[in-house]
Structure formats: structure tokens, C-alpha cells
Amino acid sequence: MGHNNKETDKKNLKLTDLSSVGEFGFIEHIKKNVKKYNESTMVGIGDDSAVIKNSNMYSLISTDMLVEGVHFDLSYFPLKHLGYKSVVSNISDICAMNGICKQITVSVAVSNRFKLETLDDLYDGINLACKRYKVDLVGGDTTSSQKGLIISVTAVGIVDNKKICQRSGAKNNDLIIVSGKLGLAYLGLQVLEREKQVFLVNPNSKPDLEPYKELVERQLKPEPRTDLIDFLEKNSIIPTSMIDISDGLSSEIIHICNSSGKGCILYSDKIFKDQTLLKVCEEFNLDPISVIMSGGEDYEIMFTINPNDYKKIENSDLDLYVIGHITNDKNTYLDLGNGSKAEIKSLGWKSF
């Protein structure tokens, strides 16, 4: 997202204590930069409740919380990127229901080490994501925190009531498809953690992140797959089940199978392994398939379709990969390609 003169100017300014503007002053301050992109947003920030108008659509509501020291480390996570990512992760949840995100609310709890100008960086990232994905920021809450920064985002979306996709609809023989490259965000985190340790030993060291640019970007600035939702709509495909890949491939396929009362076989040789992923896995002495199965934070989409719909996705210009199929027995297996198979266990992110 780059440095600019605005950031240099900020360094030379006297920073504003949040206590001097108060909660309502802070809300008015945020409100100045908020724009509306959707006709359905009737009332946004500044009233007791946002007002959203809907027709024959289902409303979708999803909430995610990010806690400093648990979900992010501000020693290498710029606040602007954090604001952007906090919105993107929620848009991805709406995509995972085959829906379109329209509005968000953002609540923040901050300790007194944060100044008004530093929170401007956070909201710059939030507003950038809203602009890019045409989402309206319509409210939220602010409070103080004893332990650093906490961000909670609630997303509101819509989906046609005939096109909604849940985790529970997978059928026997359905094809399992994933969008995009998996495992890169996890490796980006490993690179950032390594550079942090180097910095702690030698504060004068300058990290060279250029060889890892794509990995670091996937960790700090992921993008939701709204393009996939558009593609499904244009090609009249309604997936039988859907989930976003935020906790790792193994966890997500188990969610789909458990919710649908089915099993699956995934094929190791069908799972796309990016060249950068292979190279960095070698450098870190990691197994690429383990990274892909348990990494998480990719914000790609996994979905299942009737085999009859395969022709519609076969020549798509989106990066879609058929990685396996649903089975009637309730076992979840990964075919290792050498005549053996391993049971898929939930190895992804654990919240507690």
C-alpha cells in the first residue's frame, strides 16, 4: 500500500489523544471519510441503528473478531493493512454463502497507546476495502481496552433465496473444487515471524522481503473471491455446498462433510502447488501438502458441484481446481498418489 507524503506529514504532527475528542468526536471524525455505495443503505453511521432495505432476498450476517497478540502482531502488521484485512475476511464469509456483501459495522477497542492519527491508518484500510468491494460502513462501537487493539467486524450481505449455499448440501459424487493458490498466506506469516526474530536480535537489520512479496501480500492484504460469485451467477451454477478457506483445507472439508453427513476423497496430485510455495517450503523444511492442508488465511473458496456442471467451469479463466469428490461413507481421505491414503484430520486454526 506504500508510503506517501501523508504518512511523512503525520510523523511531524503532534498526535491527538483519543480522550480529547471523546467517543462521539471520534465517530464524527470517522464519518467524514465514509461513503455510500449501495441504494439498500437507508441510514448509516450516526443513528441508534443502521437501516437496510431488502426485497425477495435473504439477508446474510457474519461477524469476525481480531485480537492483538492472537490474530495479528503490530510489529510487522501495518494498521492500514489490518483494517483492509478485517473487512476482507468478512466479505469472504458472505461469498461463502454465494452472497454479495453490502454493509459492514466495525467495532474497535483500543488502549491509550493509540492516538487518533494511528487509528486513521486503520480506517484508511477499512475505507479502501469498502471502496474496492462497494461495501458501506454503517456503524459500530468504540471503547477502551486494557490489552491493546481488538477489532470486530460484522458484515451484512444478500443472496437470492433460490441461490443460497450452505455447508450442508454436498451430495454423493459431487466434485470438490477450490479457487486459487492455497498455503501462501501461512508461508507469508512464517517469513514475517522469522524476520521479526532477526530484528529482535539485530534492530539494524533490514529485511529483504522482495523474494517473498507474493507470500507476504497474501498474509497482509488478502482479497476475497467476489469474482467467483460473479462467475457462478453468469454461468447459472448453484454449488451444492460452499465454505471459505480461512482455517485450512483440512478443517474446511471436514466441516462440509460433517454438515452434509458425507465423506470425501481428495487427491494430493490434484491440489495445485505453486512454484513459490514449493521453493519456500524447501527453505523452511516444510511439507507442501501439510502447509496447504493446515495453513489457513487464504480466503479462497471451496465448493461442491454436481458433475453435470463440470463443463461450465472446465474452461473458465478463473483459477479453479477440482481436487476430489464427495462419497456416501463418512470417511475423509487424502489419496497420496502412491497407492496409499491418509485420513484427513482437522489440522487448521484452533480458536481456543
Are 120 and 74 part of one and the same domain? yes
Q: Max CA-CA distance within the chain?
A: 68
Crossing angle of helices 18-31 and 116-133, rounded to 10°:
20
Record the pTM: 0.86
d(CA 268, CA 324): 9
* Single-letter amino acid code for the residue at 45: I
pLDDT digits (tens, 9 = 90+) for 88-139: 999 999 999 999 999 999 999 999 889 999 899 999 999 999 999 999 999 9
pLDDT digits (tens, 9 = 90+) for 165-217: 999 999 999 999 999 999 999 999 999 999 998 888 888 888 788 989 999 99
Q: Could you give the count of Cα atoms lying within 13 Å of 152 in the half-sphere of its Cβ?
A: 11
pLDDT digits (tens, 9 = 90+) for 1-54: 655 555 556 556 788 887 888 766 777 788 888 888 888 777 666 655 556 677
Confirm whether 94 is domain-assigned.
yes
Are 51 and 182 part of one and the same domain? no
Are 199 and 95 part of one and the same domain? no
**Domain boundary, last residue among 143, 160, 177:** 160
CB under 8 Å to 273, separation ≥6 — which residues? 183, 288, 289, 292
Report pLDDT for 147. 81
* Single-letter amino acid code for the residue at 324: G
Are 276 and 336 part of one and the same domain? yes
- pLDDT above 90 coverage of the chain, percent: 68
Are 11 and 127 part of one and the same domain? yes
Are 183 and 148 part of one and the same domain? no
Domain count, the chain: 2
Per-residue exposure over 162-184, b if at least 16 CB sit within 10 Å of its own CB, e if not: ebbbbbebbeeebbbbbbbbbbb
Are 93 and 110 part of one and the same domain? yes
Are 204 and 156 part of one and the same domain? no
**Domain boundary, last residue among 160, 180, 208:** 160
Are 127 and 201 part of one and the same domain? no
Q: 172: domain CATH number?
A: 3.90.650.10
Are 215 and 316 part of one and the same domain? yes
Report pLDDT for 244. 94
Report pLDDT for 180. 95
Confirm whether 351 is domain-assigned.
no
Are 133 and 238 part of one and the same domain? no
Are 151 and 220 part of one and the same domain? no
Confirm whether 36 is domain-assigned.
yes
Report pLDDT for 202. 86
**Domain boundary, last residue among 101, 132, 160:** 160
d(CA 284, CA 300): 23
Confirm whether 348 is domain-assigned.
no
Q: What residues make up the domain containing 43?
A: 5-160
Q: 48: domain CATH number?
A: 3.30.1330.10
Confirm whether 259 is domain-assigned.
yes
Confirm whether 104 is domain-assigned.
yes
Confirm whether 152 is domain-assigned.
yes
